[in-house]
Amino acid sequence: MENSTLASPATGPGRIAAYLKTLPDAPGVYRMLDAKGDVLYVGKAKSLRKRVASYAKAGGGHTERIARMVAQTAEMLFVSTASEVEALLLESNLIKRLKPRFNVSYRDDKSFPNILLRQDHEFPQLLKHRGAKSARGIYFGPFASAGAVNRTLNTLQRAFLLRSCSDSVFESRTRPCLLHQIKRCSAPCTGRIDQQAYAELVREAELFLAGKSRAVQTLLSKEMAQASETLDFERAARYRDRIRAMSHIQLHQGINPSTFAEADLFAAFNQGGDTCVQVFFFRAGQNWGNRPYFPRHDRDLSVEEVLESFVGQFYDDREAPRLILLSHDIPNCQLLADALSIRQDYRVQIATPQRGEKRDIMQMALQNAREQLGRRLAENSAQRELLEAVAEIFGLEAPPRRIEVYDNSHIQGTSALGAMIVAGANGFEKGEYRKFNIRSTELAPGDDYAMMREVLTRRFSRLIKENEADEARAKWPNLVLIDGGPGQLAVACQVFADLGVEDVTVVGISKGLDRDAGREHFYLPGREPFRLDPKSPVLYFLQRLRDEAHRFAIGGHRKRRSKAIGANPLDEIGGVGASRKRALLQHFGSAKAVSAASLVDLQAVSGISQALAKKIHDFFHPKG
């Protein structure tokens, strides 16, 4: 049950003390809000009354962080729970969703990829999968990155020759594809392997991905020896190549543990108030990659507190393994283990390795975290210097916190698309990138000015609306860079004037006459165009921003153009699947010929009934 109690309008301990009269001596979750209603902190408590009382003590020996948090607190919200375990789960969920200023929080914008071995086809497909596990099949993962999955899939293709093509491609093949020619597929689509032999390949792949790689390699070694004894050297060579492929996977997985089969490992290293958490995934006795995280937190927090909060949020919407290894003892270790066990319906153990192989692996992970944090701190220092120089060059009052760069891409006005990329103190913020499909039908083909006007109008109109709704101004840019010269700059200035945007500096960047990098001209309202020293690191930084926007715009335009080129009107007709579509195209030669066919001609196609023929004919010849 959630409640908020009316109290004194003041902030600080006096305001907090007003809630004590109505709070129960029971577990729950509390939120501390500032005068604007923004959430400052989310916490859990075994006893809400006792925890809030500790904040209400004036001059109660708080740390600097807690003292600042208490001083800013103007309101509190409470949720009572049945147990402390439920409070912990709710706390993690709220922190991850609300990202309070005084809590540990981290950006978690993507799910981890898996390898899926489908089981809904007589010739199962092996493919990369991300998202909800709704397809019928066996999932292997998680892998730390898409690159790790792709490398593993490429090698698995060589080792087990399983198909990776979609069902529609599989059904339409009349001869083996290139993957069969380079010995990465057994070509079941054209009958080069029967269902029984293919099922044996699937069984071997399952065993390998389940951690029984040695058993599979032993089996293949015996088959290779038998082929050699019968002088079937070509078949023996195929087995040899498959064994080498499996060995290649194992070599690239680094450390593979022998004392445990499945675990997630968290190694946290803190320096100068910043923390890096390296997360390693071990499944089926194999290392399936690692990923570094840099959670945002107050500089006063200990590494143990950061690690505990991070792990709780990490598993808020993810499946936890049966074993979690931590580099540090955390305060509520058993409570967190109990909470994850309830969520997973099996026992989850959390441990800090003290000796043996687990400790050796943990030391390796800690070394990775230490080195990764060192690189990040060095990059951030250099980035701050560049931003300070940008502020000086463009006359900003302070280094820009958020830079937005805009570019357009099209071919003679077709598939027109605008793009925005974002950069800040931590480099490119790829989660903030946006694409804008040009909607206006009144634009002249290739009118870059009109496209830029539409993109900027849509972007800043939305920002203004969100700001009026009391949204955080974190996404309001300090500096806007436009890929273009005086014309594009004039359009941007007019859009800002029409919308009443006054606190954003806008700069146009154009290349020289020969479009050579290093000869860029910069345009600001009220200033003469100028150039920077070709050897200036700031110029290189601005070029990187401009080129990243151009890359993002070109990539989005190409995808949109490819989709338009590959679109087939037959795909929009209900009841026309891959087989009937193929039959129609083989009969008539093209979708255009299908559209011109008569009702009688359509009925003559194999698999097209009278009702479906009428449906196809009516689609291309609507009445009225």
Average pLDDT over residues 34-57: 89
CATH code of 569-620, in short, is 1.10.150.20
pLDDT of residue 323: 94
pLDDT score, position 329: 93
The SS3 of residue 291 is strand
Query: Domains of the chain: which residue ranges?
Result: 2-98, 114-252, 263-374, 402-564, 569-620
* Interstrand relation of 414-424 and 286-293 (parallel, antiparallel or unpaired): unpaired
pLDDT of the residue at 445: 64
- The 10s digit of each residue's pLDDT in 592-608 is 788 888 888 888 888 88
Mean pLDDT calculated for residue range 560-581: 70
- Look up residue 535 and give its two tokens: 């050897």
Identify the pLDDT of residue 250: 52
At residue 252 the predicted structure's pLDDT band, cuts being 50, 70 and 90, is: very low
Task: Identify the residue with better confidence: 311 or 582.
Answer: 311
Instruction: Give the pLDDT band of residue 38 (cuts 50, 70, 90).
Output: confident
What is the rounded distance in angstroms from the CA atom of residue 485 to the CA atom of residue 551?
19
Instruction: Report pLDDT digits (tens) over 524-559.
Output: 998 888 888 888 888 888 988 888 888 888 877 677
Q: What percent of the chain has pLDDT over 70?
A: 86
**Band of pLDDT at residue 6, cut at 50, 70 and 90:** very low
CA distance 545 to 427: 10
Judge whether 263-374 and 569-620 match in fold: no
Residue 264: which of 189, 338, 344, 320 has the closest Cα?
320
pLDDT at 4 over 50: no
Q: Name the nearest CA neighbour of 149 among 162, 160, 136, 140.
A: 140
DSSP annotation of 328 reads: S
Residue 471 has pLDDT above 60, yes or no: no
DSSP assignment, residue 111?
P
Q: Kindly provide the residue ranges of all beta strands, DSSP E only, lying in 130-249, ordered along the sequence.
A: 137-140
The CATH classification of domain 2-98, taken from the options 3.30.360.10, 3.40.718.10, 3.40.50.2300, 3.40.1440.10 = 3.40.1440.10
pLDDT score for 577:
81
* pLDDT reported for residue 308: 92
Residue 278 has pLDDT above 90, yes or no: yes
CB 144, CB 287: distance < 8 Å: no
* First-to-last C-alpha distance (Å) of the chain: 59
Least confident of 34-43, 149-158, 489-498: 149-158
**Which residue's entry shows tokens 């509520």?**
332
**Residue 58: predicted pLDDT:** 65
- Report the pLDDT averaged over residues 208-229: 70
Q: How high is the pLDDT of residue 131?
A: 78
Class of domain 402-564 as given by CATH: alpha beta
Q: Where are the beta strands (DSSP E) in 295-335?
A: 323-326
Sheet containing 126-129, strands listed edge to edge, beginning at the edge strand earlier in sequence: 126-129, 114-118, 137-140
Summarised one tens digit per residue, pLDDT across range 73-115 is: 999 999 999 889 899 989 988 988 888 989 888 776 567 888 8
pLDDT at 412 over 70: no
Q: How confident is the model at residue 33 (pLDDT cuts 50, 70, 90)?
A: very high
400: amino acid identity, one letter: P
Q: How far apart are CA 228 and CA 237, in angstroms?
A: 9
pLDDT at 443: 65
Q: Are 373 and 275 in contact (CB under 8 A)?
A: yes
Segment 418-447 shows an average pLDDT of: 80
- What is the residue type of 281? F
CA distance 557 to 411: 9
| pTM of the complete model | 0.65
Fold held by 263-374: Nucleotidyltransferase; domain 5 (3.30.420)
